[in-house]
């Protein structure tokens, strides 16, 4: 094509949208026994690495601190609960 062809063409823009599939459990949380005052680690495995994980107890969202620690590596997510109390069950 001649140089005039390129100068007379208009550029068009397009957008690409996609819907990401949700992360699912490959391995769900298992019941775990632990002693009062101790520490327990709950683990699950997801179908997508680094998927956003929100830990909850009923309607209450858990946040990292002295009581709770959240870890995530690849598809594995862990919740560590320290200083266990009966209400943690």
Confidence grade of residue 64 (pLDDT, cut at 50, 70, 90) = very high
pTM to 2 decimals? 0.71
Confidence of residue 50 (pLDDT cuts 50, 70, 90): confident
Characterize the bridge pairing of strands 25-27 and 68-73.
unpaired
Instruction: Please state, in angstroms and as integers, the Cα–Cα distance from residue 3 to each residue in 11, 13, 20, 62, following that order.
Output: 15, 22, 42, 63
What confidence tens digit (pLDDT) does each residue in 3-49 have? 555 555 556 677 777 677 778 888 888 888 899 999 999 999 999 88
Domains annotated on the chain, with CATH: 25-81 (2.60.40.10)
Residue 50 to residue 58: CA distance in whole angstroms: 23
């Amino acid at each position: 094509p001649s140089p005039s062809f390129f100068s007379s063409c208009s550029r068009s823009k397009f957008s690409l949208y996609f819907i990401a599939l949700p992360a699912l459990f490959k391995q769900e949380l298992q019941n775990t026994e632990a002693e009062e005052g101790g520490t327990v680690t709950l683990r699950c495995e997801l179908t997508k690495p680094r998927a956003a994980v929100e830990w909850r107890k009923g309607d209450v969202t858990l946040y990292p601190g002295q009581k709770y620690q959240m870890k995530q590596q690849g598809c594995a997510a862990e919740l560590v609960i320290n200083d266990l109390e009966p209400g943690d069950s």
